[in-house]
Amino acid sequence: MASKSIAKRPNNRWRARYRDDAGKEHAKHFDRKVDAQRWLDEVTTSIVSGQYVDPNAGRMTFRTYAEEWRASQPHRVTTQARTKSALENQAYPWLGDRMLSEIRPSEVQAWVAKLSAKNLSPATVHVIHGVVSGIFKAAVRDRRVASNPCEATKLPRKERKQVTPITMEQLDRLADEVPEHLRALILFTAGTGLRQGEAFGLTVDRVDFLRRTVRVDRQVQPLEGAGWEFRPTKTSSSVRTIPLPRTTLETLSAHLAAHPAGQHGLVFGDVDGEPLRRSSFGQTIWHPARKRAGLPEGVTFHDLRHLYASLLIRHGESVKVVQARLGHADASETLNTYSHLWPDSDDTTRAAVDAAFEGFGGGAVALSS
């Protein structure tokens, strides 16, 4: 801080002022001298601690800063689209034209309440709020604002929907309703648990027919506008090698014999060998097939992954094995999603204790006062 001072004004108020290192003057008026001194002390402390924020740094609209932030993010195309939609449809109408430094925690809380009143799901509200909070975190790092007004927001409680896997009979009906060249895609995904992008991006060179394994280390992603490219998996934990069951391998072999991989080496593609696109696949392939197969409206491609997980659990695989096969970052994600599918341990607990106490005191424990 280059200089600072406190002076009494003709109107009996106290004027506290300071010049920052750039020579720019900042001033504020107070009724009491002690309040003016406190303000100067706080500014001095923030400068010394490296937390000083120029009061004018936040004099730009949330929309302007958010668009700068969005352009600098290394988001995937799908994430870019979701972020843009969240901002343009839900954040900008309420916060877009406000100055960064003027947005208060109470206003963020009121905005969240408005989102909930629009019948958006709690999970959706969490995502939208997370985008806005991420922007304010960046603004704090950039010294645009002193704090993040989203930090203490009370969000609607998310109710975790319990996974109910489809049955093998439903899987069979579904596979029969998709075009013939995609039937193996449905069965292969249910037999390996791949995510949609991973299945769409699978190439022949990732399949080891001798060792009966498939290597998952990338996925196909559409580019904005047109085109596509191979990109890394969702997370580093998603890179994995999955053992192929005999039936799945036979399905895959028969598929490739009838539909050889094209110029891109894709195992599953459209009739021209080009990558499948999620949006068109859902609209023209998945939903019509699901409806014809008589499956509930809420069943998505991801339910094939849930079916795979349920089969592993049903046949006694541990949490760590299921985690590794699905490519989850940690076991808690696996347990949070599928814990209800593991066999109930009540009888095992009773048997363990009964075995320990068998023969103890004639088979019963005597309690004495």
Which residues share a beta bridge with 26? 18
Name the percent of the chain lying above pLDDT 90.
62
| Half-sphere exposure in the Cβ direction for 18 (13 Å, CA) | 17
Please tell me whether residues 17 and 134 are part of one structural domain: no
Q: What is the pLDDT of residue 56?
A: 62
> Does 103 fall in a domain?
yes
Q: What is the pLDDT of residue 58?
A: 61
pTM: 0.70
CA distance linking residue 170 with residue 182, whole number of Å: 16
Average pLDDT of span 177-182: 96
**Where would I find the H helices in the chain?**
33-48, 62-72, 77-86, 92-95, 105-117, 122-141, 168-177, 183-190, 196-200, 246-258, 278-281, 287-293, 302-314, 319-326, 331-338, 346-357
Average pLDDT of span 5-29: 83
Tell me the CATH number at 211. 1.10.443.10
Average pLDDT of span 137-147: 88
**Which of residues 285 and 362 earns the better pLDDT score?**
285
Q: What is the pLDDT of residue 65?
A: 94
Please tell me whether residues 337 and 224 are part of one structural domain: yes
> Does 229 fall in a domain?
yes
pLDDT of 1 > 70? The answer is no
Please tell me whether residues 222 and 268 are part of one structural domain: yes
Please tell me whether residues 287 and 319 are part of one structural domain: yes
> Does 366 fall in a domain?
no
> Does 352 fall in a domain?
no
Q: Residue 293: which pLDDT band, with cuts at 50, 70 and 90?
A: very high
Q: What is the pLDDT of residue 51?
A: 65
Q: What is the pLDDT of residue 128?
A: 96
Specify whether the CB–CB gap between 135 and 66 falls below 8 A: yes
pLDDT of 98 > 80? The answer is yes
User: Which one-letter amino acid corresponds to residue 71?
Assistant: A
> Does 350 fall in a domain?
no
Average pLDDT of span 109-129: 94
Q: What is the pLDDT of residue 28?
A: 85
User: Which one-letter amino acid corresponds to residue 192?
Assistant: T
Which positions ≥6 away from 318 have C-beta within 8 Å? none
Domain ranges, residue 21: 3-48
Please tell me whether residues 33 and 181 are part of one structural domain: no
Q: What is the pLDDT of residue 356?
A: 75
Average pLDDT of span 293-301: 95
Please give the mean pLDDT across all residues of the chain.
88
Please tell me whether residues 133 and 209 are part of one structural domain: no
Tell me the CATH number at 83. 1.10.150.130
CA distance linking residue 41 with residue 32, whole number of Å: 15
Average pLDDT of span 53-61: 70
Please tell me whether residues 126 and 215 are part of one structural domain: no
Please tell me whether residues 328 and 187 are part of one structural domain: yes
CA distance linking residue 81 with residue 76, whole number of Å: 9
Name the percent of the chain lying above pLDDT 70.
91
Give the count of domains, the chain: 3
What digits encode the pLDDT tens for the residues 338-364? 998 988 767 677 777 777 777 665 555
Please tell me whether residues 71 and 212 are part of one structural domain: no
Please tell me whether residues 208 and 129 are part of one structural domain: no
> Does 147 fall in a domain?
no
Please tell me whether residues 335 and 199 are part of one structural domain: yes
User: Per mean pLDDT, which range of 37-46, 175-184, 247-256, 327-336 is the poorest?
Assistant: 37-46
What digits encode the pLDDT tens for the residues 35-56? 888 878 777 777 666 666 656 6
Q: C-alpha distances in angstroms, 51 versus 43, 44, 54, 142?
A: 9, 10, 10, 11
Q: Residue 301: which pLDDT band, with cuts at 50, 70 and 90?
A: very high
Residue 166's nearest CA partner among 155, 157, 178, 175 is 175
Q: Residue 217: which pLDDT band, with cuts at 50, 70 and 90?
A: very high
Please tell me whether residues 228 and 298 are part of one structural domain: yes
**Which of residues 34 and 348 earns the better pLDDT score?**
34
pLDDT of 299 > 50? The answer is yes
> Does 232 fall in a domain?
yes
Q: C-alpha distances in angstroms, 75 versus 185, 221, 318?
A: 28, 12, 34
The three-state secondary structure class of 242 is strand
Q: What is the pLDDT of residue 369?
A: 45
Q: Answer with the one of 125, 141, 157 that is the final residue of a domain.
A: 141
Average pLDDT of span 9-37: 84
> Does 122 fall in a domain?
yes
Q: SS3 letters for 262-290?
A: CCCCECCCCCCCCCCCHHHHHHHHHHHHH
